[in-house]
Amino acid sequence: MSNAPIGIFDSGLGGLTVLKELMAQLPNESFIYLGDTARLPYGTKSPETIRKYLQQTSSFLANKNVKAIVVACNSASSVVTENETISGIPIYGVINPGADSAINKTAKNRIGIMGTTATITQDSYKKAIHKLAPDTKVFSKACPLLVPLVEEGWHEDPITNLVLHRYLADLMGDGIDTLVLGCTHYPVLKESIKKIVGPYISLVDSAEAISKVLKEKLSEANLISDNQKPYVKFYATDINESFSLMAQRILGTDTKIPVEAVNL
């Protein structure tokens, strides 16, 4: 059981930043990645529809005999309930670990959240933070251009820097000392964001936060793998040319990544 793979689910490819971090933190684990590319974006869908999709994607991963499921997508994470399982397999979202990490980092109790329009409108991080630390001031900024900029491959680019400067101006003016990167695509922009906000604002990367939580949970359950030859398998509900290219870009590899089509 401890050598069983970990399932990762995202609405698309952004969750590969979470996979990359998990691979770094848990080097002997195998992973099964599922991107629901045929139905993305989730952000514009109702919670009822997203729950239905989550049920289908979790079942798919459960049937692959995973030992845990990580929901990398922020919109899907916001419908994951506490201690949720499927066929006894635990399901972990990225919102709570991110909120928890932000509360631990903030000294001034002023946290900023960057996210897609949907994540910001749903206030998922704000709600999770206020549940744990009601007196914390939370400032949110929807940043709808960042995902298309990353998907265009324009990170480390003067245009993206201008966009980031504009998006971050308000949050910096609000006197935040902690900033949550509330979208799976944003870790790709982490270095650029760091340069803009400077050394006195701590960044919270949900990928790092969920990796830490998962490592603890697996450790507690005695489920850390010692597999010397771990593997990663990729599945997607719709495969187009950009999948392989984006996957290589995010995972930082030149090797073509094989992806298997799946119908949910």
Instruction: Report the interface residues with a second copy, using CB under 8 A.
Output: 37-38, 40, 44, 117, 121, 144-145, 148-149, 151-152, 158-159, 162-163, 166, 238, 240-242
C-beta of 37 vs 202, nearer to a second copy: 37
Instruction: Note if 183 is an active site residue.
Output: yes
**Contact between 15 and 35 (Cβ < 8 Å):** yes
Residue from 4, 54, 71, 73 carrying the catalytic annotation: 73
* Least Å from the CB of residue 54 to a second copy: 18
Cα of first residue to Cα of last residue in the chain, in angstroms, is 25
Q: Which of 15, 9, 12 is nearest to 186 (CA)?
A: 15
* Least Å from the CB of residue 11 to a second copy: 12
The helix/strand/coil state of 6 is: strand
* Least Å from the CB of residue 165 to a second copy: 10
* Least Å from the CB of residue 149 to a second copy: 7
Distance of CA 50 to the CA centre of its chain: 16
C-beta of 162 vs 221, nearer to a second copy: 162
C-beta of 27 vs 153, nearer to a second copy: 153
Instruction: Note if 143 is an active site residue.
Output: no
* Rounded-to-10 torsion of CA 75, 149, 187, 65: 50
C-beta of 13 vs 66, nearer to a second copy: 13
**CA distances in angstroms from 249 to 71, 215, 222, listed in the order given:** 21, 25, 34
Report the catalytic residues: 73, 183
